[in-house]
Amino acid sequence: MRVNRLGVSCVIVAMLAAVNVMAAEPEEVPFEEGKEPPPCKPGEGWCLVTKPATYKTVTKQVPVSPATHYMEAVPAKFETKPEQVQVAPEKKVATVVPAKFKTESVKVLVKPEYKVLEVVPAEFAWAEETVETRPAYETISVTDPTYKIVPEQIQVAPATTYWKKEEGKDCYCLCEKPAKFVTVNKEVLDKEGAQAKASVPAMTKTVKVQKLVKPASVVEKVVPAEYVTVEKELVSDPATVTSTTVPAKFETVNKEVEVAKATTKKVEIPAKFETVTETVLDMPAKLVWRKNTCDCGQIVSKYKEVPGTDEESLLKLVK
């Protein structure tokens, strides 16, 4: 059962690896706990070996005193500058100019313009008209499809590979067994079914109807508005307000202002280092798969074929 599981897994990995067939295969592959050997060609295999650790010499700097700093106070700066100060704001003095009037004759509407509507009735006449008593339609006739029996080959077992362990060694060989096929009779379409359509014309009848010759209409008449003349007092110049501006008053004073704020300044003291040399691990010891060639012919020569791949066994598997 262990050999069969290894063979199925190798087939899946080999199908994925077929996308990159031009890539070169490695001679060594890292070993992963719980995983099967890497994919390979039939007649090849992998051996599990221990690769020793390697070391290297490195030079590095070690700190002997850390970097530090201290803060230095910087006082604020002041200057005396002349500045204008407002002692009285700008003012405005308002003066009222009264409105002026005049008398005019104006027309006043006593009755507005309006409209009167008169209705003119519609006119009709008799006429003959053809109407449809039954619409045109289509009839459909159907011919059934025909079928025939043809033989077809069906794959009942795919081509697979399986792993074989070499006696006395921690090595595994990838071997292959061919696909198996059986012939079955299959019913397939010989001739498509068909449809035929036939048109049946519409039926009509002539009847007498009344048709509109002239539609009803509305005639609009306008009655003019009525006015009277009256004397009316109107404003010729409205009342206004004028203003006079009195400018603001200023005085000059000396004022001490801050031109730079008090701050602190950071003074850095750098760290000190010494150079040392030591030997460190570059790559630890590890297990790897190493490429190996092997012979799959022993099991085939003994049984003449791989057990379970004969036609009788494959047909039982299909059922």
pLDDT digits (tens, 9 = 90+) for 242-275: 878 888 888 887 877 777 888 888 888 888 888 8
The model's confidence at residue 112, banded by pLDDT at 50, 70 and 90, is confident
- pLDDT of residue 98 exceeding 70, the answer is yes
Contact assessment for residue 81 and residue 252, using Cβ atoms and an 8 Å cutoff: no
pLDDT greater at residue 297 or residue 265: 265
pLDDT-derived band at 302, boundaries 50, 70, 90: very low
Report which DSSP code applies to 304.
S
- Average pLDDT estimate for 277-283: 85
The whole-angstrom separation of Cα 120 and Cα 296 is 113
Burial of 145 (0-12, 13-18, 19+ CB in 10 A): exposed
Of the listed ranges 100-114, 134-148, 271-285, 288-302, the least confidently predicted one is: 288-302
Averaged pLDDT of the chain: 76
159's tokens: 């081509």
Which element (helix H / strand E) includes 205? Answer: strand 203-214
The residues facing 216 across adjacent strands are: none
**Residue 263 to residue 72: CA distance in whole angstroms:** 9
Positive or negative, the CA dihedral 180, 186, 191, 197 is negative
The lowest-confidence range among 50-54, 95-99, 193-197, 302-306 is: 302-306
Q: What is the mean pLDDT of residues 289-310?
A: 56
With a pLDDT cut of 70, the percent of the chain lying above it is 84
Selected residue with higher pLDDT from 316 and 249: 249
Q: For residues 264 and 87, which has the higher predicted lDDT (pLDDT)? A: 264
Query: Phi/psi of residue 297, each to 5°?
Result: -75, -15
Q: What are phi and psi of 3, to 5 degrees?
A: -65, -40
Q: Which of 92-96, 152-156, 209-213, 273-277 has the lowest mean pLDDT?
A: 92-96
Does pTM top 0.75 for this prediction?
no
Instruction: Quote the Cα angle for 14-17-18, to 5°.
Output: 85
Report which of 175, 121, 148 is spatially closest to residue 10, judged by C-alpha positions. 175
What does the pLDDT read at residue 12?
32
* Token representation of residue 59: 């030079």
For residue 299, the model assigns a pLDDT of 43
∠ CA 32-166-49, rounded to 5°: 40
Q: Are 175 and 161 in contact (CB under 8 A)?
A: yes
CA distances in angstroms from 295 to 276, 288, 300, listed in the order given: 55, 22, 11
